Amino acid sequence: MRDVAALAGVSLKTVSRVVNREAGVSPDVTARVERAVAQLGYRHNLAASNLRRAHGRSAMVGAVLQDVSNSFSASLLRSLEDEARDRDVAIVASSLDEEPERERSIVESLVRRRVDGLLLVPATERQDYLADDLRNGLPVVFVDRRPQGVDTDSVTVDNGLGARLAVDHLVAHGHRRIAMVGDMPTIQTARARLEGYRSALRHAGVEPDPDLAAMSVRSSDDAVAAVYRLLDLDDPPTAIFAARNSLAVGAIRALHQRGLAGRVALVGFDDFPLADIVDPPLTVVRQNVRTIGAEVAKRLFARIDGDTSAPHHVVLTPELVVRGSGEIRP
């Protein structure tokens, strides 16, 4: 900037004015400065500008997701980005792979970078560590899981209801031996889905069989193994509720490998791009990611713009998408 000023024969402040398109600079000075900018390849430094101007705001938001390469996280990121683009806000994306320590270190590093707000899909049990930053006015919107130990905005779906939709559907198609494959019960959503599964069974007059609830299943490969074990039981299930999309994928693989695709009913939780063309087409409980993403972006930017109302907790309703795999009879 100093060089531009020298070359154009003006002061620093005048270059600043031209670069920021402030009114009140004569046309010929403007032209001279612009020529110098082009000639020297000068680039305005946003970090310095924000330091001086915006009292440390950075025009960035952080997205702290489970794994940017899974379709749920990626779609969420994309929704947020679409909203952010209009405001010239950049998005810093991180994956935490369900690891609590990583969550804390990522959040710490984003706060150091003075992001203007945070989208957070937490892996920690409690988020008391955020209390200071929240008090200092950092906008944080939780997604998929409710905050524990602090109170701030959240956008979640009713996981218990979703699980009940799935199980009710299977019951309505004549099933009694219904298994569940779920993630670690320490994860809030996994726990809520397990509860929903049990309560739907009881409601149907079926006492939940602990042998049929395969929990702590983490990956698609784990799900294959878990489904094998379920199928090897003396009294195997006639239907499976797979409580996360990658677990449903594992379940499909396992059924294929056992030659049981189309014989054992299957309902997944979370839709994914190709669920309609797998074999058989997968019936799922869908949470509308676009809606979630839009809601999150709306809350986050409202807070950034100064909304100080009480925390909003938006709970969206999942819906059942019938495609075939869930309508197989025992």
Partner DNA sequence: CATTCTCTTGACAACGTTGTCACAGCGCGG
Partner DNA sequence: CCGCGCTGTGACAACGTTGTCAAGAGAATG
Q: Where on the chain is the footprint of a second copy (CB under 8 A)?
A: 41, 43-48, 50-51, 56, 58, 60, 67-71, 73-75, 77-78, 81, 88, 90-95, 109-114, 132-133, 135-136, 249, 252-253, 256, 272-274, 276-280
Closest separation between CB of residue 33 and a second copy, Å?
Answer: 17
- The correct pick among 51, 74, 92, 320 for binding DNA (CB under 7 A) is 51
Specify which residues 266 forms β-bridges with.
Answer: 240
Whether residue 39 contacts residue 61, with contact meaning beta carbons closer than 8 Å, is answered with no
> What is the residue whose two structure tokens read 């494959």?
181
Q: Structure tokens of 183?
A: 């993630």
Q: Structure tokens of 314?
A: 């938006």
With CB cut-offs between 5 and 8 Å by kind, which of DNA, a second copy, none does residue 88 bind? Answer: a second copy
**CA–CA separation, 315 and 157 (whole Å):** 5
| Alpha carbon separation from 160 to 56, 164, 288, 312, 318 (Å, rounded) | 42, 6, 16, 20, 10
Q: Is 11 in the site for DNA (CB under 7 A)?
A: yes
In the complex with a second copy, which residue's Cβ is closer, 19 or 204? 19
Q: Is 186 in the site for DNA (CB under 7 A)?
A: no
Site string for DNA, 52-91 (x = CB under 7 A): xx-xx-----------------------------------
Name the one range near DNA by CB under 7 A: 38-46, 57-65, 94-102, 266-274: 38-46
Chain Cα centroid distance, residue 287? 11
With CB cut-offs between 5 and 8 Å by kind, which of a second copy, DNA, none does residue 277 bind? Answer: a second copy
Q: Is 41 in the site for DNA (CB under 7 A)?
A: no
- The correct pick among 6, 7, 25, 93 for binding DNA (CB under 7 A) is 25
Give the strands of the sheet with 319-321, arranged side by side. 213-214, 178-181, 239-242, 265-269, 283-286, 319-321
Q: Give the number of residues written for the chain.
A: 330
Whether residue 285 contacts residue 318, with contact meaning beta carbons closer than 8 Å, is answered with yes
Q: Name the site residues for DNA (rule: CB under 7 A).
A: 1-2, 9-14, 16-17, 19-20, 24-26, 28-29, 42-45, 48-49, 51-53, 55-56
